[in-house]
C-alpha cells in the first residue's frame, strides 16, 4: 500500500481529555476519531489493527471448536425482562422505542439472546455441548466514558456462550477457553496474567480475568512473586496471619476523648492494632431499596468494596452520609458491636471469627471497649478485606504484591442462572427436563487495540507488536520528487511484497523527510527502511521502532535482513 | 467440520409470514432465526455464508484501492441536523436519547459521518481522491419489515464514500465502482443486470442499481431485448412514439354521461386514445406541508409514482381521498386543463408538449372537451410515465420488456449535496476553498444471502452457488453407528480437507439416512457423498444438489471426481 493512496490523517494535537498514551497516540496517529462520548470511528490504519486482532480471536475460537454466529445488535427488551436484567442492569442498558412503540435495547452482552436461540432448538443432551460465539458491536451507556477505546460506550467484543449437560463438562470447556484465551494474548505479543475474578453483574460461580499488564491499568491485581497465583483485588485471597489469641477478659469501657482512628486508639491503649476492629459504614443500593450496612474488618485491614457489595447482594455501595449515620443511630469513630442498633445490617470479615478479645467503639461518643469477645455474638461473616502488598500467598507462602492491569478478557461459569430464569431446558439421559448449564466468555477486541499501546509505547508514539502492526515495514522515500529515490523505494516495496512482508511505501511528494520520520515514530510500524542520501553508496537504513536503532545495509541485502529481524 | 459439533437446527416449519423461498429455507435450514420484527440472528451456517459474501466484497473493494474503515453505528443526531436529513428521512431514522439526554441515531447510512471524518483532515486537492468504505451493521426502522433478510430493519451493508476535486474524477471512480460491483456479483455466481436508477432520498445526479434477477424481486426493471439497456422502472426511458399531429380545431364541450375511463370516453367519441389525456390526482407529502397535485399523462400511459414524486420534489405521494378532491374542487373522471382550479399544482408528462388537439375532462360532471390545444397553455412538463412492456428502446430501437429484480447494490454520483450542506471543503490548485465532490456506493451484504437463494432454489430447498456455499461437500454417513461406514466417511473427509475442499461430515448417530438426505437438500450444499450400502462394492454415491443427479463412484476416485465437478 502507498501512503499517498491511504487516508492517514496524523496530527500533533491530542484530545484535551486524553490522559492515556493509547488515547493520545491512537488519535494523533490517525487510527481513530471520536464521534461522540465514548463512540469512535476506526480510520484505515485503526481498522487494519482491529481486523488483525479480530482474525486472531476468530482463528483461536474456531480452533477450539466453537461455532461463530452473529446476533442482532438491537434486541427486544422483553428478553431482558425474562432474565430480570432489564431492571438490574441499570442505566448502562440503553433502552429505546421503535416507530411502533415496541421497546428494544442495544446489546451490551447477549446471554438472553443466546438462551433464546438455543431454547427449543437443542432439546436433547445428545446435542450438547455447544459453544456459540460472535465478534460484534456492543453498547454500554457508561456514566463516564473515558480513556479513548479503553472505556467506550460502543465497542467490539467477542462474546461466547456454551451450553452443557453437566458441571464437569462446563469446567472442561471453561478450561479450554482459558487455554484458548492464553493463545490469543500470546499471539498478540502481550504480557498478561490470568487472575481470579469477581463474577459481578454477570453472575455465576467461578470466573477468571485476563489482565494485560500496564501501569495505566484500571484494575489492581494481586500477584505472587514465587508462584503462578494471580487475582483481581476484588477476588484475591491470602494466607491468614494468625496471631496468638489473647486471654479473654471482662469488657471494659475506656474514655478515649477525640480518639477516632485505629492508630490513635490502639496507641493510647497500648494494644496491637491487630486486636482491634473497625467499622466501615456504607449505603447499599439494592434493586428495590437502599439500606445502611456496617462492615467490620480488622484494624490492620481495609475493606474491599466489591467483596463487601457481593456479601450483602447489593448492586453497589455508596459512602454513608452524616444524615445516614444519624438516621441509623451510628457514631463515626466510635462504632462497635456491643449495643449495636438492632435494625442495622452488619457483616464481619471472616478472619475475625475466633477473636475473643478485641478493641472496638462503644457506640458512645469518646468511648471505646476493650476485651470484646466476638465468639459470644451471633454474627454474619464473609470475606471482606483487600489483600495488601506484602501479604502471604495462600498457595505457596510467597509474598504477594500489587500490580496494575487492563481487563481484556473474562470467562465465567454461569451455571443455570439464565437458563432457569428463562425456562430453557433439555432432556437428560433419563428423559428429564434440566436447565442448560452455561458458561460465557468475553474478549474486548477494540479495547485490545488500546491495551497493546498501553503496554507498548514510548514518548514518540506507538510501538505495535508484530501481530498487531498495521504494516510491518514503512519504506520512507526521503525525497519522493527525486526519481532515483522513488524508484529504489518502489523496488524494495515490490521485493518485500513478494516476500510476504506487509509494507507501506511513504511516497508522499508533499511531505519532507522529517515529517515522514515523525509519522513513522508516531504510528509505530515495527521497522522503517529509509531511502535517502546513502543511495549513492548503494545503501539504505533500517530503523527499529522499538529500539530506535539504525543500521545501514546494502540495498541488495535489505530484504533478507528484514526477514531475519522479523523472525 | 462435523455435523455433530455444529449447531444446525433444521426444522420442517416455515414462519407463518414467509412468502419468499429465501425466507422459508433460510429459517428452515437453520441459517437464521428471527428475534424481532426485521431483526435476525445468523446461526452458524448463516454466518459462514454471510462471511463468504463479506470477504468477496472486501477483497474487490480493496482491489479497487478503497480504504476500509469502521464507523460508529450510533451517531449523534446533530450530524444529521447539519445535512438536513434528521427531518427528511422520516421515521425510518431511529432516534433515541442516551442517559444524559443527548440525541443519537442508529445509522441507516453514513454520508454525514464520513463527511465529518474527512472534513479538516483532508485539506488539499493533493490528498484527493480517496474512497472510504465499511462493511457494518445498519438500522432502518421500516414501516413494514418483511421477507426475512430481504427487507429487514437491522442489516449488514457495505457502504463506501468517495471524495474528489472534480466531476471527471468522480465519474472515473463511479465507473471503477461499477466494474468492482460487477466482479462481486460475478464471483458470487449470480445473474444480474446493471440498470439506471432513481437517486431517491440519497440525492445526487447519476445513479445505477445492480439487480439480481429473480421472479420474486420487488423491483420492476425495464430491459431491452436487443441491446444492453436496462433501467429501474422508476428511471426507465423509451423512444417517444410520435403519431401524426391532428389539425387544430375549436374546443368543443361534449356530454359524456357516466363515461369516466379513457376507454369509455374515447370509444364514445371515436377518438384514438393516444389523443386523450388523463389526470392522476395525488396528495404530495412535503417536509413542511401536504398538497394536492394533479399529474396529466397520455390516455395510453400510466403514471410512474417515483418519477412523479421527484417531479414535484415531494417526500412521497399518497392517493388523494374524496375529501381531498372536494377541497381542491376537482372531479374524478372529468378533470381537465381548461378552467382548472388556479391554486392547484399541475404537471404534464413531457411527451404531451406538442399536442394541439386532445380530449380531456371539462371539470364538470358528465362533460368532456375535445380539441384542447395544450401548446396554448403555460404548463410545467416532466418525465412522468411508466415505460411499458413492448415500448421501443431509445438506444437501439429494440423492444423493451419488464422483468423482476432484487436491488443488491446502488451507486450514486452525489456531487456536493452533503459537503455543501456541512460546509466541508478542500483547497483547490488555486488555493480556493471548494466543497468536496462525492460519490457513494452501497451493497446489501445480508440481503445478498437471501438473493442468492431467491435465484437458486427448488421445491426441496436452497441451492448455494460455489462461492456462497457454507460447505462444498456434505459427506452423509448413512448409518453412523456402523463403524465401517463412519470410518470410510472420515477417511474421505480427511482426503477432501487435504485437497482444500470445504467439507462437512454428517456423522450424527441419532439421525437416519432419510433425515440426513432431507437436511442436505434443504440446506443446499452443492454436493453430497453418500456412504452407505454400496460400500461392500467399494463404491459411494455423489449427489449433485442442483440437478439431483446421482453418480456411483469408486471410493478411490471420489476426491478426483469431486475436484473435477467443482471446477
The three grid cell numbers given for residue B333, joined into one nine-digit string: 373522471
Average pLDDT over residues A554-559: 97
Whether A386 and A349 have beta carbons less than 8 Å apart is answered as no
A230 bridge partner residues: A223
Report the complex ipTM: 0.90
Does one domain contain both A413 and A378? no
Instruction: Give the Cα separation of B90 and A6 in Å (integer).
Output: 35
The three grid cell numbers given for residue A264, joined into one nine-digit string: 490513635
H and E: helices and strands count for chain A: 14, 31
Confidence at A533, pLDDT banded by 50, 70, 90: confident
Instruction: Give the Cα separation of B238 and B395 in Å (integer).
Output: 8
Instruction: Give the Cα separation of B134 and B69 in Å (integer).
Output: 5
Rounded mean pLDDT of chain B?
Answer: 95
Whether B2 and B489 have beta carbons less than 8 Å apart is answered as no
Does one domain contain both B26 and B146? yes
In whole angstroms, how far apart are CA B552 and each of A347, B479, B497, B539?
76, 18, 21, 6
The interface residues of chain B toward chain A in range 68-107, judged by CB-CB distance below 8 A, are 68-76, 79, 91, 94, 96-100, 102, 104, 106
Confidence at B202, pLDDT banded by 50, 70, 90: low
Write the pLDDT tens digit of every residue in A412-449: 999 999 999 999 999 999 999 999 999 999 999 999 99
Q: Which residues are CB-contacts of B267 (< 8 A; sequence separation ≥ 6)?
A: none
Cis peptide before B369 (omega within 30 of 0): no
Starting at the edge strand that comes first in sequence, how are the strands of the sheet with B527-531 ordered? Answer: B503-506, B473-477, B527-531, B539-544, B550-554
In whole angstroms, how far apart are CA A186 and each of A56, A83, A134, A209, A452?
10, 36, 21, 15, 12
Q: How many CB atoms lie within 10 A of CB A364?
A: 15
Does one domain contain both A10 and A159? yes
DSSP at B202: G
Has residue A163 been placed in a domain?
yes
**Range from A239-253, A441-455, B194-208 that averages highest in pLDDT:** A441-455
Instruction: Give the Cα separation of B204 and B171 in Å (integer).
Output: 13
Does one domain contain both B359 and B434? no
Instruction: Give the Cα separation of B441 and B158 in Å (integer).
Output: 8
Instruction: Give the Cα separation of A452 and A406 in Å (integer).
Output: 10
The predicted pLDDT at position B560 comes to 97
A-B Cβ pairs (cutoff 8 Å, strict)? 161
Average pLDDT over residues B207-232: 92
Confidence at A248, pLDDT banded by 50, 70, 90: confident
Do residue B141 and residue A99 have CB atoms under 8 angstroms apart? yes
Chain-centre distance of CA A548, in angstroms?
Answer: 31
The predicted pLDDT at position B306 comes to 93
Chain-centre distance of CA B293, in angstroms?
Answer: 28
Burial class (CB in 10 A: 0-12, 13-18, 19+), A260: middle
- What would the DSSP string read from start to end of A397-463? S-BEEEEEEEEEEEEEEEETHHHHHTT-EEE-TTS-EEEPEEEEEEEEHHHHHHHHHHHSEETTEE-
Does one domain contain both A62 and A209? yes
Does one domain contain both A126 and A229? yes
Has residue A29 been placed in a domain?
yes
Instruction: Give the Cα separation of B338 and B354 in Å (integer).
Output: 17
Nearest Cα neighbor of B266 from B374, B360, B375, B372 is B360
Rounded mean pLDDT of chain A?
Answer: 95
Taking 90 as the threshold, does the pLDDT of residue A247 lie above it?
A: no
Confidence at B206, pLDDT banded by 50, 70, 90: confident
The predicted pLDDT at position A246 comes to 80
B235 bridge partner residues: none
DSSP 3-state of B531? strand
Q: Which residue has the cell 464473609?
A: A382
Write the pLDDT tens digit of every residue in B160-187: 999 999 999 999 999 999 999 999 999 9
Burial class (CB in 10 A: 0-12, 13-18, 19+), B101: exposed
Has residue B336 been placed in a domain?
yes
The parent domain of residue A114 ranges over 3-237+401-454
Does one domain contain both A308 and A222? no
Does one domain contain both B197 and B233? yes
DSSP at B70: B
Instruction: Give the Cα separation of A56 and A64 in Å (integer).
Output: 12
The predicted pLDDT at position A447 comes to 97
The predicted pLDDT at position A123 comes to 95
Do residue A35 and residue B72 have CB atoms under 8 angstroms apart? yes
Residues of chain A in contact with residue B65, where contact means CB-CB under 8 angstroms, are 5
Chain-centre distance of CA A112, in angstroms?
Answer: 22
Write the pLDDT tens digit of every residue in A257-290: 988 889 999 999 999 999 999 999 999 998 889 9
The predicted pLDDT at position A201 comes to 59
Across the interface, of A70, A79, A98, the residue whose CB is closest to B42 is: A70
Write the pLDDT tens digit of every residue in B436-468: 999 999 999 999 999 999 999 999 999 999 999
Residues of chain B in contact with residue A117, where contact means CB-CB under 8 angstroms, are 33, 41, 43
DSSP 3-state of A500? coil
Confidence at B245, pLDDT banded by 50, 70, 90: confident
Confidence at A249, pLDDT banded by 50, 70, 90: confident
Q: Which residues are CB-contacts of A97 (< 8 A; sequence separation ≥ 6)?
A: A103, A104, B96
Taking 70 as the threshold, does the pLDDT of residue B204 lie above it?
A: no
Domain with residue B196: its CATH number is 3.30.930.10
Does one domain contain both A100 and A206? yes
Domain with residue A512: its CATH number is 3.40.50.800
Q: How many CB atoms lie within 10 A of CB A308?
A: 24
The predicted pLDDT at position B246 comes to 80
Cis peptide before B514 (omega within 30 of 0): no
Whether B470 and B464 have beta carbons less than 8 Å apart is answered as yes
Starting at the edge strand that comes first in sequence, how are the strands of the sheet with B95-97 ordered? Answer: B74-76, B103-106, B95-97
Confidence at A90, pLDDT banded by 50, 70, 90: confident
The predicted pLDDT at position B228 comes to 86
Nearest Cα neighbor of A48 from A561, A523, A483, A411 is A523
Write the pLDDT tens digit of every residue in A119-139: 999 999 999 999 999 999 999
Residues of chain A in contact with residue B509, where contact means CB-CB under 8 angstroms, are 126
Has residue A394 been placed in a domain?
no
Has residue B107 been placed in a domain?
yes
Does one domain contain both A446 and A539? no
Whether B414 and B162 have beta carbons less than 8 Å apart is answered as no
Do residue B36 and residue A72 have CB atoms under 8 angstroms apart? yes
Do residue A7 and residue B65 have CB atoms under 8 angstroms apart? no
Do residue B76 and residue A36 have CB atoms under 8 angstroms apart? yes
Do residue B75 and residue A36 have CB atoms under 8 angstroms apart? yes
Whether B30 and B523 have beta carbons less than 8 Å apart is answered as yes
DSSP 3-state of A106? strand
The predicted pLDDT at position B201 comes to 60
Do residue A143 and residue B67 have CB atoms under 8 angstroms apart? no
Instruction: Give the Cα separation of A545 and A483 in Å (integer).
Output: 27
Determine the distance in angstroms separating the CA of B68 from the nearest CA of chain A, rounded to an integer: 6
Residues of chain B in contact with residue A121, where contact means CB-CB under 8 angstroms, are 7, 9, 30, 33
Write the pLDDT tens digit of every residue in A196-234: 988 665 666 689 999 999 999 989 999 999 998 999 999
Burial class (CB in 10 A: 0-12, 13-18, 19+), B21: buried
DSSP at A225: S
Nearest Cα neighbor of A467 from A526, A523, A408, A520 is A526
The predicted pLDDT at position A308 comes to 95
The predicted pLDDT at position B248 comes to 75
Average pLDDT over residues B285-291: 89
Average pLDDT over residues B137-143: 95
The interface residues of chain A toward chain B in range 131-170, judged by CB-CB distance below 8 A, are 132, 134, 136-137, 139, 141, 143, 153-154
Instruction: Give the Cα separation of A405 and A219 in Å (integer).
Output: 5
Residues of chain A in contact with residue B37, where contact means CB-CB under 8 angstroms, are 100, 102
Write the pLDDT tens digit of every residue in A286-300: 888 999 999 999 999
Angle at A513 between CA A507 and CA A514, to 5 degrees: 135
Across the interface, of A6, A72, A100, the residue whose CB is closest to B41 is: A72
Has residue B31 been placed in a domain?
yes
Does one domain contain both B171 and B55? yes
Average pLDDT over residues A54-72: 98
The three grid cell numbers given for residue B69, joined into one nine-digit string: 474503515
Do residue B41 and residue A70 have CB atoms under 8 angstroms apart? yes
| Phi, psi dihedrals of residue B188, rounded to the nearest 5° | -70, -10
Whether A447 and A150 have beta carbons less than 8 Å apart is answered as yes
Instruction: Give the Cα separation of A441 and A328 in Å (integer).
Output: 42
In whole angstroms, how far apart are CA B312 and each of B61, B144, B205, B249, B384?
37, 26, 16, 32, 11
Domain with residue A333: its CATH number is 3.90.960.10
The interface residues of chain A toward chain B in range 453-512, judged by CB-CB distance below 8 A, are 509-510
Determine the distance in angstroms separating the CA of A175 from the nearest CA of chain B, rounded to an integer: 18
Instruction: Give the Cα separation of A449 and A180 in Å (integer).
Output: 19
Whether A266 and A299 have beta carbons less than 8 Å apart is answered as yes
Average pLDDT over residues A111-125: 96
DSSP at A392: B
The three grid cell numbers given for residue A154, joined into one nine-digit string: 460502543
Has residue B127 been placed in a domain?
yes
Instruction: Give the Cα separation of B530 and A237 in Å (integer).
Output: 58
Does one domain contain both A337 and A426? no
Domains contained in chain A, number = 3
The predicted pLDDT at position B221 comes to 93
Nearest Cα neighbor of B131 from B437, B360, B350 is B437
Has residue A396 been placed in a domain?
no
Determine the distance in angstroms separating the CA of B67 from the nearest CA of chain A, rounded to an integer: 6
DSSP 3-state of A86? helix
The predicted pLDDT at position A203 comes to 61
The predicted pLDDT at position B203 comes to 61
Average pLDDT over residues A503-509: 97
The predicted pLDDT at position A102 comes to 96
Percentage of residues in chain A with pLDDT exceeding 90? Answer: 91
Interface test with A, best of B10, B42, B69 (most A CBs within 10 A): B69
Amino acid at each position: 500500500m502507498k501512503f499517498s493512496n491511504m487516508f492517514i490523517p496524523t496530527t500533533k494535537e491530542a484530545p484535551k481529555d486524553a490522559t492515556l498514551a493509547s488515547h493520545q497516540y491512537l488519535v494523533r496517529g490517525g487510527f481513530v476519531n471520536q464521534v461522540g462520548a465514548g463512540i469512535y470511528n476506526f480510520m484505515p490504519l485503526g481498522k487494519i489493527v482491529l481486523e488483525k486482532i479480530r482474525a486472531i480471536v476468530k482463528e483461536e475460537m474456531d480452533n477450539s471448536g466453537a461455532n461463530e454466529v452473529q446476533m442482532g445488535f438491537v434486541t427486544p427488551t422483553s428478553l431482558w425482562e425474562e432474565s430480570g436484567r432489564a431492571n438490574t442492569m441499570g442505566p448502562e442498558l440503553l433502552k429505546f422505542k421503535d416507530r411502533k412503540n415496541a421497546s428494544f435495547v442495544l446489546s451490551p452482552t447477549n446471554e438472553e439472546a443466546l438462551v433464546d436461540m438455543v431454547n427449543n432448538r437443542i432439546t436433547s443432551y445428545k446435542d450438547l455441548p455447544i459453544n456459540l460465539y460472535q465478534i460484534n458491536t456492543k453498547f454500554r451507556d457508561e456514566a463516564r466514558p473515558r480513556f479513548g477505546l479503553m472505556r467506550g460506550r460502543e465497542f467490539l467484543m467477542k462474546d461466547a456462550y456454551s451450553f452443557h449437560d453437566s458441571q464437569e463438562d462446563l469446567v472442561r470447556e471453561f478450561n479450554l477457553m482459558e487455554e484458548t484465551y492464553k493463545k490469543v494474548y500470546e499471539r498478540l505479543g502481550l504480557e498478561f496474567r490470568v487472575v481470579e475474578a469477581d463474577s459481578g453483574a454477570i453472575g455465576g460461580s467461578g470466573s477468571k480475568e485476563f489482565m494485560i499488564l500496564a501501569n495505566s491499568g484500571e484494575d489492581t491485581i494481586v500477584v505472587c512473586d514465587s508462584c503462578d497465583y494471580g487475582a483481581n483485588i476484588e477476588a484475591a485471597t491470602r494466607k491468614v496471619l494468625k496471631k496468638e489469641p489473647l486471654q479473654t477478659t471482662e469488657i471494659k469501657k475506656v474514655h478515649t476523648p477525640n480518639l477516632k482512628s485505629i492508630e490513635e486508639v490502639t496507641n493510647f491503649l497500648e494494644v496491637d492494632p491487630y486486636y482491634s476492629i473497625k467499622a466501615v459504614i456504607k449505603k447499599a443500593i439494592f434493586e428495590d431499596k437502599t439500606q445502611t450496612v456496617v462492615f467490620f474488618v480488622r484494624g490492620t485491614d481495609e475493606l474491599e468494596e466489591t467483596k463487601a457489595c457481593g456479601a450483602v447482594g447489593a448492586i453497589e455501595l455508596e459512602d454513608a452520609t452524616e444524615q445516614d449515620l444519624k438516621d441509623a443511630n451510628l457514631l463515626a469513630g466510635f462504632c462497635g458491636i456491643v449495643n449495636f442498633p438492632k435494625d442495622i445490617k452488619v457483616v464481619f470479615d471472616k478472619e475475625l471469627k475466633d477473636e475473643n478479645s478485641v478493641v472496638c467503639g462503644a457506640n458512645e461518643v469518646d468511648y471505646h471497649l476493650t476485651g470484646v469477645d466476638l465468639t459470644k455474638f451471633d454474627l454474619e461473616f464473609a470475606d471482606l478485606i483487600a489483600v495488601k502488598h506484602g501479604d502471604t500467598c495462600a498457595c505457596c507462602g510467597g509474598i504477594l504484591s500489587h500490580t496494575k492491569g487492563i481487563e481484556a478478557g473474562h470467562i465465567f461459569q454461569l451455571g443455570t442462572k439464565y437458563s432457569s430464569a428463562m425456562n430453557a431446558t433439555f432432556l437428560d439421559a433419563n428423559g428429564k427436563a434440566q436447565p442448560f448449564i452455561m458458561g460465557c466468555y468475553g474478549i474486548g477486541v477494540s479495547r485490545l487495540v488500546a491495551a497493546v499501546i498501553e503496554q507498548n509505547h514510548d514518548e514518540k508514539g506507538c510501538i505495535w507488536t508484530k501481530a498487531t502492526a498495521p504494516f510491518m515495514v514503512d519504506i520512507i522515500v526521503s525525497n519522493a520528487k527525486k526519481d532515483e529515490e522513488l524508484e529504489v523505494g518502489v523496488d524494495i516495496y515490490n521485493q518485500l511484497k513478494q516476500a510476504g512482508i506487509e509494507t507501506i511505501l511513504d511516497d508522499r511528494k508533499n511531505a519532507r523527510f522529517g515529517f515522514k520520520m515523525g509519522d513513522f515514530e508516531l504510528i509505530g510500524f515495527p521497522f522503517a527502511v529509509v531511502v535517502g542520501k546513502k543511495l549513492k553508496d548503494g545503501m539504505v537504513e533500517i530503523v527499529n521502532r522499538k529500539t530506535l536503532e539504525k543500521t545501514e545495509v546494502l540495498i541488495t541485502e535489505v530484504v533478507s535482513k528484514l526477514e531475519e529481524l522479523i523472525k
